[in-house]
Amino acid sequence: MNKSFIFKGAQLLFNYNSCADLLYKKCLCDYTSELSKRSRERKKSLFWASQCDSSLKQSEALIKVLVKVSNPSDADLWLLNSCTVKNPAEDHFRNSIKKAQEQNKKVVVAGCVPQAQPRTDYLKELSIIGVQQIDRVVEVVDEAIKGHSVRLLGQKKEKGKRLGGARLDLPKIRKNPLIEIISINTGCLNACTYCKTKHARGDLASYSIEELVERARQSFQEGVCEIWLTSEDTGAYGRDIGTDLPSLLWELVKEIPEGAMLRLGMTNPPYILEHLEEMGRILQHPRVYSFLHVPVQSASDSVLMDMKREYCCADFRRVVDFLKERVPGITIATDIICGFPGETDEDFEQTMELVRQYRFPSLFINQFYLRPGTPAAKMEQVPAHVKKQRTKELSALFHTYKPYDHKIGERQRVLVTEESFDSQHYVAHNKFYEQVLVPKKPEFKGKMIEVDIYEAGKHYMKGQPVEDARVFTPSIAQPLQKGQVSGLPQVSLLDRLNMNISHYHHPPNP
């Protein structure tokens, strides 16, 4: 459900859906001075509609300077984030723009859709914030409110070299104060024929190890107990700056407090193959989850060639088999696209057989969606009913096995980080990043506890805390409150605002 907030006459809507933290993580800049400026000028500011519902609850830190309003249509400007991975995401984005225009709202758009296709008809005359320009959101909103159309789509460079994106040290508000999400690089080195994200994100651009280590260090000083490393392809990290992923991970591990954990994001097979020995050692480290997301997309080499995935199914099997041998119990998650152009029944059966063999506990099944402007859009398409049927068959196969039943009766150490969707439990994860639901007791939040597994479902286990077992606190500092701004000196926004307003109303004597 949409929620809107008003700040001294400035209105914002947070309507997050499902995209990455692009705007959420990097939009605040030095927001305090901007907010106080708006307060003095009594301007109406912006209506925020980005793409991740779970972030709605993160507004508490601004509760004293933002007042809820019941009707989001009261806002003057809608800021809409976007995702270009699938057609439904773009359709939702387009519909949101149409809805805003029907209400005569000013609109600013951001994310991968306008970056990749800024000349699209429905984006004409709209202001655009490019994926590398998020730290300039205030400028764009100001100009849009004045009635101007601004488009910031350029890539940031230094000495002719493409930079990774917005600065990592920009203030932000975490969706979960216990979890820090760090993008280690933007763009990728591949040219997959179905992907439109490459059009928006461009080639690989990695942040330096020093920047990433400093961001992790600051996060732990703010009470974070879990770090997620993300990118379009973590395995390719550093190839553009003369380093590699294992080098980064070993430096990060030095900064992780006892009991805190690091989760590595998605990596494609080609680049992780170069570092299998090192990755096997890293994924066994007690402060690193034994978990890796390696998309296969198809088990057919013919389909993989048409996708230009730059590996064959044997490469994927080599990665999985090696890690399963070297890292006992490791969780391997993967992605599969059903109905890619040219996929035959025999091709699809190879994919089904791969799933039967490995019984992946985490499997992301995607029906192929044609993305205009991609090479795959020009290929001979699989009929819609066939794509739908194959997606249904693979989903049915996935639900025939239960990956966690054999773990009933085990005693596990788990890190508790969030509340379950049904609000009845807390969500924890064990060493293999398997989800364990525990009783919703406040003293468990942000703690490493021991549990006995007594129940298992398709996607989770349930654990009973062990009586008299040690409850360990991994955070080295008190976590920030929900919605509190990360990266700022520990002076509240309200304090800064009041100081600025007081100075404005009572200038020093000459």
Could you read off the pLDDT of 26-49 as tens digits, one per residue?
333 333 334 334 433 433 433 343
Q: Mean pLDDT over residues 14-22, rounded?
A: 32
pLDDT: which is higher, 338 or 33 = 338
Residue 420's pLDDT is what? 94
CATH of the domain at 224: 3.80.30.20
Q: Is residue 416 part of a domain?
A: yes
Domain count, the chain: 3
Q: Which of 361, 380, 398 is the last residue of a domain?
A: 398
> How confident is residue 162, by pLDDT bands cut at 50, 70 and 90?
low
> How confident is residue 501, by pLDDT bands cut at 50, 70 and 90?
very low
Is residue 56's pLDDT more than 60?
no
Q: Is residue 499 part of a domain?
A: no
Same domain, 108 and 166: no
CATH of the domain at 61: 3.40.50
Same domain, 379 and 258: yes
Containing domain of residue 442, as a range? 405-465
Q: Report the C-alpha gap between 22 and 399 in whole angstroms.
A: 33
Same domain, 128 and 231: no
Q: Under 8 Å CB-to-CB from 57, ≥6 apart: which residues?
A: 482, 483
Same domain, 393 and 412: no
Do the beta carbons of residue 265 and residue 234 sit within 8 Å? yes
Question: How confident is the model over 417-427, as pLDDT tens digits?
Answer: 999 998 999 99
Q: Mean pLDDT over residues 328-355, rounded?
A: 98
Q: Is residue 479 part of a domain?
A: no
pLDDT: which is higher, 406 or 54 = 406
pLDDT: which is higher, 401 or 55 = 401
Secondary structure (H, E, C), 378-407: HCCCCCHHHHHHHHHHHHHHHCCCCCCHHH
CATH of the domain at 458: 2.40.50.140
Residue 201's pLDDT is what? 65
Q: Which of 366, 382, 398 is the last residue of a domain?
A: 398
Question: How confident is the model over 212-263, as pLDDT tens digits?
Answer: 999 999 999 999 999 999 988 999 999 999 999 999 999 999 999 999 999 9
Residue 50's pLDDT is what? 40
Angle at CA of residue 406, ends 404 and 412, nearest 5° = 75
Q: Is residue 67 part of a domain?
A: yes
Residue 187's pLDDT is what? 84
Do the beta carbons of residue 283 and residue 253 sit within 8 Å? no
Do the beta carbons of residue 304 and residue 313 sit within 8 Å? yes
Same domain, 131 and 198: no
Of 260, 252, 253, the closest CA to residue 223 belongs to 260
Q: Which of 367, 398, 429 is the last residue of a domain?
A: 398
Residue 81's pLDDT is what? 76
Angle at CA of residue 55, ends 53 and 61, nearest 5° = 145
> How confident is residue 2, by pLDDT bands cut at 50, 70 and 90?
very low
Do the beta carbons of residue 172 and residue 28 sit within 8 Å? yes
Same domain, 79 and 136: yes
Residue carrying the six token digits 């006995």? 452
Q: Mean pLDDT over residues 178-186, rounded?
A: 92
Same domain, 174 and 221: yes
Same domain, 381 and 437: no
Is residue 316's pLDDT more than 80?
yes
Residue 325's pLDDT is what? 97
Mean pLDDT, the chain, as a whole number? 79
Q: Which residues pair with 226 in a beta bridge?
A: 179, 261
Same domain, 9 and 118: yes
Q: Which of 27-31, 68-72, 204-208, 389-393 bottoms out in mean pLDDT, i.e. has the lowest? A: 27-31
Question: How confident is the model over 366-380, as pLDDT tens digits?
Answer: 999 988 889 999 999
Residue 87's pLDDT is what? 63
Same domain, 144 and 174: no
Of 48-62, 102-116, 373-387, give the range with the top mean pLDDT.
373-387
Sign, CA torsion 487/489/493/499: negative
Is residue 301's pLDDT more than 80?
yes
Q: Give the amino acid at 434.
A: E
Q: Is residue 40 part of a domain?
A: yes
Q: Which of 333-342, 391-400, 492-501 bottoms out in mean pLDDT, i.e. has the lowest? A: 492-501
Q: Report the C-alpha gap between 442 and 413 in whole angstroms.
A: 18
Q: Is residue 255 part of a domain?
A: yes
Q: Report the C-alpha gap between 168 and 207 in whole angstroms.
A: 9
Q: Is residue 285 part of a domain?
A: yes
Same domain, 141 and 189: no
Same domain, 178 and 268: yes
Is residue 287's pLDDT more than 80?
yes
Of 207, 199, 288, 270, the closest CA to residue 233 belongs to 270
3-state secondary structure of 319: helix
In whole angstroms, how large is the CA radius of gyration of the chain? Answer: 24
Q: Is residue 323 part of a domain?
A: yes
